[in-house]
Amino acid sequence: MSLTANWSYPTAIRFGAGRISELADACAAAGIKKPLLVTDKGLSYLPITQNTLDLMEAAGLGRAMFADVDPNPTEINAEAGIKMFRDGGHDGVIAFGGGSGLDLGKLVAFMSGQTRPLWDFEDIGDWWTRADPDGIAPIVAVPTTAGTGSEVGRASVITNSETHEKKIIFHPKFLPSVVICDPELTVGMPPMITAGTGMDAFAHCLEAFCSPHYHPMSQGMALEGMRLVKEYLPRAYKDGTDLEARAHMMSAAAMGATAFQKGLGAIHAMSHPIGAVHHTHHGTTNAVVMQAVLNLNRPEIEDRLTQAAAYLGIEGGFDGFYEFVGALNKSLGIPANLTDLGVTDPDIDALVASALSDPSCGGNPVELTKENVTALFKTCL
Ligand SMILES: [Fe+2]
């Protein structure tokens, strides 16, 4: 194993119930005087969003909002948001929401001062160095779900509306200057979304933990993140107003996204094309394919997951961990397979090709091939 790596750690996080009240202070800390709040359509009408706009207005920051953001945001959404940012003379973004609102908000801030087209910054090699760092506006991120962890991430996932491929746009300055993690904002999440987003956090921790790259800090974070999900996701699912469970899930989400600097794997490599083509929920898709991916990777991860099982209080080593995932999925109402999730008439060859070109492949413990990924898709359908 090579003991050489590049590490980046997250940013200033204001964590705790009620801390959305510090939004104006967070904007000041980030150097933002005229923010554009970016969120998705569904959230824009909810009281948590309206209250946040009220806080902005009361602090003299205006109440500008861009909410034309689809569940899987596209470059069309991005272009509209960038136009509103530039036309409005804004100097920073409040990225507000789940994965879609956070990712598009970060992207609008990133693109606000760039002259090259969006796809020039795809996460390939050193393409990120093409960006003008002075053209990236500061970001305050406010998650309203506990799963994606995009609030502490250095990338945005965006769907190409023509090819229906999910692309990752990366730059170190995507990392928000300030994050407000206020678990009260997640209290209204319905159980199905609590389950799906929570399993996304679990998938981030699990894939990071299993990735073969050297990153002991992430390894520790991934393990404790899995424990938090195991203890608190069932509670948050059962009772959305359980603020203690909501808080621990919010930590797990930020930990998972920090940990996956170490790598993701086949769960995400499969989930990205399925979501892009069949519009399934990202975290729920991860949960559906999780057991099949564990089986594929078993020869490389058995010892490691035996240690994880012991820490998590799961008996039976790898097999116990595998059974635990199945039981957790079932208790959260996760569909048993991709067909039940709504994946009908899939073009398996196309899904396999997209999965194999997904950057997540690089962190999978077992090398992914056309043969084993085709078998994975067939098992999961
Ligand atoms: Fe994810």
pLDDT tens-digit readout, 259-283: 999 999 999 999 999 998 999 999 9
Q: How far is the CA of 60 from the centre of ligand 1 (A)?
A: 36
Tokens of 92: 């920073």
Q: How far is the CA of 371 from the centre of ligand 1 (A)?
A: 24
Q: How far is the CA of 34 from the centre of ligand 1 (A)?
A: 31
Q: How far is the CA of 204 from the centre of ligand 1 (A)?
A: 6
pLDDT, one tens digit per residue, over 36-94 is 999 999 999 999 999 999 999 999 999 999 999 988 899 999 999 999 999 999 999 99
Q: Can you give the three-state secondary structure of 130-168, one letter per residue?
A: HCCHHHCCCEEEEECCCCCCHHHCCEEEEEECCCCEEEE
- Give me the domains of the chain, ranges plus CATH numbers: 5-185 (3.40.50.1970), 189-380 (1.20.1090.10)
Tokens of 377: 């898709």
From the list 329, 57, 48, the residue with the least C-alpha distance to 185 is: 48
H helices present in the chain, as ranges: 23-30, 41-44, 47-58, 75-87, 99-111, 191-210, 216-238, 243-259, 266-278, 282-312, 317-331, 338-341, 348-356, 370-380
pLDDT band at 1 (very low <50, low <70, confident <90, very high): low
Burial of 152 (0-12, 13-18, 19+ CB in 10 A): buried
Sign of the Cα torsion 40, 42, 45, 46 reads negative
Residue 192 has pLDDT above 70, yes or no: yes
pLDDT, one tens digit per residue, over 202-242 is 999 999 999 999 999 999 999 999 999 999 999 999 999 99
Q: How far is CA 3 from the centre of its chain?
A: 27
Question: Contact, 296 vs 372, CB < 8 A?
Answer: yes
Q: Rounded to whole angstroms, how far apart are CA atoms 185 and 211?
A: 32
Q: How far is the CA of 242 from the centre of ligand 1 (A)?
A: 24
Question: Contact, 104 vs 94, CB < 8 A?
Answer: no
Q: How far is the CA of 2 from the centre of ligand 1 (A)?
A: 27
Q: How far is the CA of 226 from the centre of ligand 1 (A)?
A: 14
Q: How far is the CA of 170 from the centre of ligand 1 (A)?
A: 15
Q: What percent of the chain has pLDDT over 90?
A: 94
Q: How far is the CA of 199 from the centre of ligand 1 (A)?
A: 9
Tokens of 241: 């107003």
pLDDT band at 8 (very low <50, low <70, confident <90, very high): low
Sign of the Cα torsion 15, 171, 213, 317 reads positive
Indicate the average pLDDT of the chain: 95
